[in-house]
Amino acid sequence: DQQVKQNSPSLSVQEGRISILNCDYTNSMFDYFLWYKKYPAEGPTFLISISSIKDKNEDGRFTVFLNKSAKHLSLHIVPSQPGDSAVYFCAASEGGNNRKLIWGLGTSLAVNP
């Protein structure tokens, strides 16, 4: 059973516009959420994270919003650039020393010039 769901396998956006990538989760014990960007044949690159005590975190062009009641988070990229084209993964972890990540299946973002 997929605890972290990214229901859109792909997204296409025009350069300069906003990209919105969505993620839903089912485990209410998750308290930390991360977004990673991944190119083919490379490891995931950390983008931005958010703790469950917050509802928004911003870093440059990237903003993550968390709606705990809906168990939903989203990543906004503004403005989108062609170099943002990659697969974006949402990941979540529970409290505790382990901190292993549970991942979604990813959303492939294509930013068109």
Partner 1 sequence: DTGVSQNPRHKITKRGQNVTFRCDPISEHNRLYWYRQTLGQGPEFLTYFQNEAQLEKSRLLSDRFSAERPKGSFSTLEIQRTEQGDSAMYLCASTSRVTGNTIYFGEGSWLTVV
Residue ranges binding partner 1 (CB under 8 A): 4, 32, 34, 36, 41-46, 49, 51, 89, 91, 93, 97-106
CB of 53 to partner 1, least distance (A): 12
Decide whether 38 or 76 has the Cβ nearer to partner 1. 38
- Closest CB to partner 1 among 18 and 29? 29
Concatenate the DSSP letters of all residues of 50-97 into one string: EETT-SEEEETTEEEEEETTTTEEEEEESS--GGG-EEEEEEEEESSS
Residue closer to partner 1, measured from CB, 40 or 113? 40
Using alpha carbons, list the distances in angstroms from residue 21 to 7, 12, 13, 100.
9, 11, 11, 22
| Tokens read off for 61 | 């062009």
Q: Considering the complex, what minimum distance in angstroms separates the CB of residue 33 from partner 1? A: 10
